[in-house]
Amino acid sequence: MDPAVQKLLRQFLNLTGFLVVFALVLLFYILYFTQPADWLKSWWAEQRRAEAAETLATAPTEAPEVVAYWSAPSIESETDEALKEQLRYGKELVAYTARYFGPNGSVDANRTNGLNCQNCHLEAGTKVFGNNYSRVAATYPKVRARSGQLEDVYKRVNDCFERSLNGTALDPASKEMQAMVAYIQYVGKDVPKGEKPAGSGFKDLAFLNRPIDPVHGKVVYEEKCVTCHQADGQGLKDDFGNYTYPPLWGPLSYNDGAGLYRMSNFAKYVKWNMPLGASHDDPQLTDEEAWDVAAWVNTQPRPKKNLAGDWPDISKKPFDHPFGPYADGFTEEQHKFGPFGPIKAKLESMANGQP
């Protein structure tokens, strides 16, 4: 090849190489050192969205957990007609106790304060996390730490008559007691012995990291509770003199030996069930509102019960039992208002043999 042609070819290749490098450097400068054009930003964003969508589409998905909550069997499906009638009467007694045992009761007037069993055990003891009766048949008879004795269902029902209804015990052989016990055991008949079905009792509620506050609780009560239970806490009655909304304190409310007098029970009850229409999956109160309104309600005047026989082993008293003496070193004030976390931790440590 002619030397002149070779020289020309080398110059052309050198120029081409230079131009390629220059173009790459210029492109790099534009992309990294100047603001990208709108079309470039849009294109880049679209590419990122497409990649994210593809990743999401191919990622394994977890099915949401479905909880099978307990539900009460229908007494109307019972084929034994005599039993069905007894169950109907038992349910009626649970739902409208005052009609039979209240101040104007048709069976035994003034045996109770005028409240109904379902004021505490909602929907006649069948509501999920409404203090229902699902575990009764599977649990009793059992030894209860409060009495230190083996108790059957009859004793448990009479505890409610003497504490929550602030009345006197029924004769276990009476028609009414037999009907109530039959109904209470029937609704939990399908729960295996010793098991706790989902939705029984009350749903758990986290402790506050401070003492509960009755002053704030009064504010909550006035905002969320006063429409039904009234400013004086005495509730509302229907045209027949029966409570539509029960009194929360005063001479016709539960006494200081009732389960709802424990702050944790009251707080759980209202958190997952109140105001009317609330439920465990649709609560209307915050945790603080629930705890503080419990403090307000349970510091109001109410009937007193002789509790001298309760908790013979004081080391088994609950973290929020408000009456001493105690084995855990905390005061009555702390047991009533908390914070409850340290008290519960101490009791659990003691139960495990730790100091």
- The total of structural domains in the chain comes to 3
> How many Cα neighbours within 13 Å face the side chain of 251?
1
Q: Would residue 5 count as lying in a domain? A: no
**144 forms bridges with which residues in the sheet?**
149
Buried/exposed 300-315: b ≥16 CB within 10 Å, e otherwise: bebbebeeeebbeeee
Query: Interior CA angle at 257 toward 251 and 258, to 5°?
Result: 80
Q: Would residue 327 count as lying in a domain? A: yes
Q: Are residues 234 and 171 in the same domain?
A: no
Q: Are residues 158 and 234 in the same domain?
A: no
Q: Would residue 55 count as lying in a domain? A: no
Structural domain range at position 341: 314-351
Q: Are residues 289 and 323 in the same domain?
A: no
Q: Are residues 286 and 338 in the same domain?
A: no
311-325 pLDDT, tens digit each: 999 999 999 999 999
Tell me: pLDDT of 197 over 80: yes
Could you tell me the CATH number of the domain that includes residue 222?
Answer: 1.10.760.10
Q: Would residue 192 count as lying in a domain? A: no
Q: Would residue 278 count as lying in a domain? A: yes
Q: Are residues 162 and 236 in the same domain?
A: no
Q: Are residues 342 and 241 in the same domain?
A: no
Residue carrying the six token digits 């003034």: 110
DSSP letter, residue 65 = P
Question: Which residue from 274, 266, 227, 234 is spatially nearest to 113, judged by alpha carbons?
Answer: 234
Both structure tokens of 296: 């307000």
Strands annotated E in the chain: 142-144, 149-151, 236-237, 243-245
Whether 265 and 272 have beta carbons less than 8 Å apart is answered as no
Rounded to whole angstroms, how far apart are CA atoms 232 and 286? 23
Please give the average per-residue pLDDT across 250-254, as a whole number.
98
Q: Are residues 148 and 233 in the same domain?
A: no
320-340 pLDDT, tens digit each: 999 999 999 999 999 999 999
> How confident is the prediction for the chain on average, in pLDDT?
91
Buried/exposed 7-18: b ≥16 CB within 10 Å, e otherwise: eeeeeeeeeeee
Question: What local confidence, expressed as pLDDT, does residue 241 receive?
Answer: 84
Question: Which residue from 300, 280, 232 is spatially nearest to 69, judged by alpha carbons?
Answer: 280
**236 forms bridges with which residues in the sheet?**
245
Q: Are residues 137 and 235 in the same domain?
A: no
Question: What local confidence, expressed as pLDDT, does residue 66 receive?
Answer: 78
Q: Would residue 41 count as lying in a domain? A: no
Q: Are residues 153 and 241 in the same domain?
A: no
Question: What local confidence, expressed as pLDDT, does residue 35 receive?
Answer: 52
Query: Interior CA angle at 280 toward 335 and 144, to 5°?
Result: 45
> How many Cα neighbours within 13 Å face the side chain of 141?
7
Q: Would residue 46 count as lying in a domain? A: no
Q: Would residue 224 count as lying in a domain? A: yes
Tell me: pLDDT of 185 over 90: yes
Terminal C-alpha separation, the chain: 103
Question: What local confidence, expressed as pLDDT, does residue 16 receive?
Answer: 73
